[in-house]
Structure 1
Amino acid sequence: MSRAFVNEDAGNDRPDLLELPVPPGPNIVTPRGLAALRERLAQRQADLAALKARADRLDKLPEAAAERDLRWLEARLKAAVVIDPSTHDLTEVAFGLAVTVADEDGRETTYEIVGEDEADATRNRIAPNSPLARALLGARVGDVVTWHRPAGAVELEILRIAHAHP
């Protein structure tokens, strides 16, 4: 028999997908971040159930992707360490707090330092390991910090430190 007619993938019901990288160490999250991870897990579980309920299940890739996503979400939840920002006083910038800064032109921006999985630049939510968060952490109202960016350093004055809105 010719090799041209042999399905070398026969018996392989699971497409090969690369695993999503799970950062080592703890996953520091706010209570809101923990709730969001749990919501994402529940949604992905529902997605997988719907995929498995399809009449036509010839394409196994969507199911494999959902299972891979579930493994990643479960690992992130297992590594989660919740830090409740409501327990922080507002004397210095800390994880989970909102900090309002003014740049050299006087433009004010409020940032919130959140867990990696919560970071969202469009909402000014920044991860604690970002250059901006590293510049802000530990600063007090009135301090001027230097944010080292690829486009050049920027001086930021700390104007306010507050508890973030849920």
Structure 2
Amino acid sequence: MKHSSVWSLLLLWSLTVSKVSSEISVKTTQDGIKMTCKNNEHHFQGFDKNPLEVLYKDDQSGEYICEDADHSPHSKIFVKFRTCDNCIEFDVGSIAFMVAGEVIAMLAIGVGVHLVASHTGSAPAQTTSSERKRNVPNDRISGASNEPYQPLRFRKDAQKDEYDVINRR
């Protein structure tokens, strides 16, 4: 417990202690930022340029150091770019329209469910299966029975799951 409180105090102390350098000026451009070492004899470490234009990309984030001609560091600046390609910026108007749209959609769904659930079956169904006519022709004239299918008979010498052959008419 003691170590965690010491680490948190050190972290808090390191976050609150900051030094503003007047040696480096930063100006925003259309594609990124433009950093300039105030003293014209200085340049940025690894670039040998003054001023240095840094494009607005995540991989351009990092520490940039102004150094003398003899490569001794003079002042530092840490640049962090956070590009957000898939982000959406919300303002009060867009949030209000989203909430209103949600409320309207819920009301429409609720009314639809209520209308479907409370619908009484006042209109009769088209036809029921008992009202349908059979498609088998009436063979009363020929003397055949009115059954649509010929009944199956068991053979005497066969097992119970075997049936007799249907006689042809």
In terms of fraction of residues, the more strand-rich structure is 1
Q: Which has the higher contact order (CA 8 A, sep 6+)?
A: 1
In terms of fraction of residues, the more helix-rich structure is 1
Larger Rg: 2
TM-score (norm. length: structure 2): 0.21
TM-score (norm. length: structure 1): 0.21
